[in-house]
Structure 1
Amino acid sequence: MEEEYFFECPWCGEEISMLVDLSVPAQAYIEDCEVCCRPIEIQYQSSGFGVEGFSAARG
């Protein structure tokens, strides 16, 4: 199950979104901002029903 999650890019400050996989309890990876194309280090935890913790840092 996936959920669209909205957050602010740590580089440009624009609100962007991404799909997070709620079937995985925790993930960490790098994804480029869809606005400024700079790398964002994404980390999140999920309970299977929603996002429990989320961080987006300059990667």
Structure 2
Amino acid sequence: MDFVDIACPYCGETIQLAVDGSAGAQRYVEDCQVCCRPIEVAVDVGADGDLSVRARDGNEA
């Protein structure tokens, strides 16, 4: 399990997500721990095992 800090796309606060990199690429929704709004989280794992985590609100295309 890896822990990644991201900025909430709604309130801008930094929150920490627990990410299981062994599960491969993932897409899921997690509520912000500060403002409780739903964040769309995208996790990608590079060939070298490095995680790329992106967070966006539901209004982004």
TM-score, scaled to structure 1: 0.86
Partner Cα separation in structure 2 for residue 8 and residue 36 of structure 1: 12
Q: Relative to total residues, which structure has the larger strand share, 1 or 2?
A: 1
Q: Relative to total residues, which structure has the larger helix share, 1 or 2?
A: 2
Which runs of no fewer than 5 residues in structure 2 stay unpaired? Answer: none
Q: What is the CA-CA distance between 1:5 and the residue it aligns to?
A: 0.4
Percent sequence identity over aligned pairs: 42
Runs (4 or more) in structure 1 with deviation over 6 Å come to: none
Count of residue pairs brought into register by the alignment? 57
Partner Cα separation in structure 2 for residue 30 and residue 22 of structure 1: 16
The CA RMSD over aligned residues, in Å, is 1.4
TM-score, scaled to structure 2: 0.83
